[in-house]
């Protein structure tokens, strides 16, 4: 068992056939890489579904190992928020030793949907002017945040959320490779919980598995501990909260929330959504509550105060409990 290298890197897919669940995108990409003139690409989809891995596989398909340093530029959104950076670094890279024995250059732009509109305009002009030897691969979660003139210059591939079975299969594979000793009677539950924690993000699933190993949680596997280290409520706390809500005890329910170390409101929202059907709430109100939960999730993502938002949610839940 090795913990030195992050397992997400160690088990990063190296070939197209290592990529699971993305058959539509992969089959089409396989055709593209056979032609010499590939278009610019956009990979769009949720986190941890294989976008970066696929972009690297493509770049490495066209580049020799010794060219990787010079002919591959990987940028993150935080590098690209500044327009002067985009102008300088990108232009330099694009123009350096161009058309040297006709080899290609790749620019992989991660989180492209977080690049400000103005900078996207600058980027678009660079893409337009750049020679045919430079290929851009843009990665994003939300394609609607990329400006149309860029989209229209790229072939778009959609990456879908991984199925539960695919995620669990991959986790089992890694567990075998690493010789992990998971108590057999708890194995299935453990993988189920890892899937829940991951929310469909394989990177998160693999990281949580590695963290559980690093913290020595596997031998006497206490699944609650795994929940806690991932910023979720453990089963006991969730049960107490459930009781407090059913008893319409707002003060108690808020106390429970406040007592949690490392409270993660967005994880909490996912857990509360799971128990929603078990509460005595009229179906029509459940729908309204789900809409409301979506709204506060958004507000929190935009920086609203977590405790205020979650308190408001608890109050609304309690208000909707039928007695
Ligand atoms: N479709 C997939 N097939 C195989 N492994 C995957 C897949 N998606 C994600 N992974 C695993 O998760 C990690 C993160 O994948 P990555 O390609 O960086 O996802 P993304 O760029 O979509 O967030 C990889 O190292 C790999 O181990
Ligand atoms: Mg990525």
pTM of the model: 0.83
- Establish whether residue 13 lines the binding site of ligand 1, counting it when its CB lies within 6 angstroms of any ligand atom: yes
Domain map of the chain by residue range? Answer: 22-158, 164-229, 235-320
Q: Which of 49, 57, 170 to mutate to test the pocket of ligand 1 (most atoms within 8 A of CB)?
A: 49
Cα end-to-end span (Å), the chain: 54
Tens-level pLDDT at each residue, the chain (323 residues): 556 789 999 999 999 999 988 989 999 999 888 887 899 999 999 999 999 999 999 999 999 898 898 899 998 877 777 777 777 888 888 877 655 567 889 999 999 998 888 889 989 999 998 888 899 999 999 999 999 999 999 999 999 999 999 999 999 999 999 999 888 888 999 999 999 999 899 999 999 999 899 888 887 778 888 888 888 888 889 999 999 999 999 999 999 999 887 788 888 998 999 889 889 999 999 999 999 999 999 999 888 999 999 999 999 999 999 97
Of 129, 118, 127, 134, the residue nearest 150 (C-alpha): 127
Give the CATH class of 235-320.
mainly alpha
Q: How far apart, in whole angstroms, are the C-alpha atoms of residue 296 and residue 307?
A: 11
Ligand approaching nearest to the C-alpha of 198: 1
What is the CATH topology of the domain spanning 164-229?
Answer: Helicase, Ruva Protein; domain 3 (1.10.8)
Ligand approaching nearest to the C-alpha of 159: 1
Cβ atoms of residues 279 and 317 within 8 Å = yes
Atom of ligand 1 nearest to the CA of 55: 17
Q: How far apart, in whole angstroms, are the C-alpha atoms of residue 49 and residue 283?
A: 33
Cβ atoms of residues 146 and 120 within 8 Å = yes
Give the CATH class of 22-158.
alpha beta
Helix (H) or strand (E) holding 44: strand 40-44
Cβ atoms of residues 4 and 100 within 8 Å = no
């Amino acid at each position: 068992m090795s913990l030195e290298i992050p397992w997400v890197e160690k088990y990063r897919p190296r070939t197209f056939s290592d990529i699971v669940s993305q058959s539509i995108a992969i089959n089409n990409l396989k055709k593209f890489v056979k032609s010499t003139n590939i278009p610019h690409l956009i990979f769009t989809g949720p986190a941890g579904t294989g976008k970066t891995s696929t972009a690297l596989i493509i770049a490495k398909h066209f580049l020799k190992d010794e060219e990787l340093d010079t002919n591959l530029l990987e940028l993150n959104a935080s590098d690209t928020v500044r327009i002067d950076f985009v102008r300088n670094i990108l232009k330099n890279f694009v123009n350096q030793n161009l058309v040297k024995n006709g080899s290609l250059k790749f620019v992989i732009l991660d989180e492209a949907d977080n690049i400000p509109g103005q900078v996207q305009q600058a980027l678009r002009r660079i893409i337009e002017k750049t020679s045919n030897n430079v290929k851009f691969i843009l990665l994003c979660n939300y394609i609607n945040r990329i400006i149309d003139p860029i989209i229209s210059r790229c072939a778009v591939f959609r990456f879908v959320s991984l199925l539960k079975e695919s995620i669990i299969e991959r986790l089992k594979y890694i567990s075998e490779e690493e010789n992990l000793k998971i108590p057999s009677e708890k194995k299935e539950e453990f993988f189920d919980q890892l899937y829940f924690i991951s929310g469909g993000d394989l990177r998160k699933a693999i990281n949580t598995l590695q963290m559980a190993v690093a913290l020595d949680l596997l031998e006497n596997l206490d699944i609650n501990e795994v929940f806690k280290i991932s910023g979720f409520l453990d089963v006991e706390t969730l049960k107490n909260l459930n009781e407090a809500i059913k008893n319409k005890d707002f003060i108690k329910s808020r106390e429970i929330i406040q007592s949690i170390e490392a409270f993660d409101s967005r994880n909490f929202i996912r857990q509360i959504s799971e128990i929603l059907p078990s509460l005595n709430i009229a179906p029509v109100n459940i729908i309204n509550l789900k809409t409301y939960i979506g709204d506060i999730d958004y507000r929190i993502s935009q920086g609203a105060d977590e405790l205020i938002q979650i308190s408001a949610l608890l109050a609304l839940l309690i208000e909707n409990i039928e007695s």
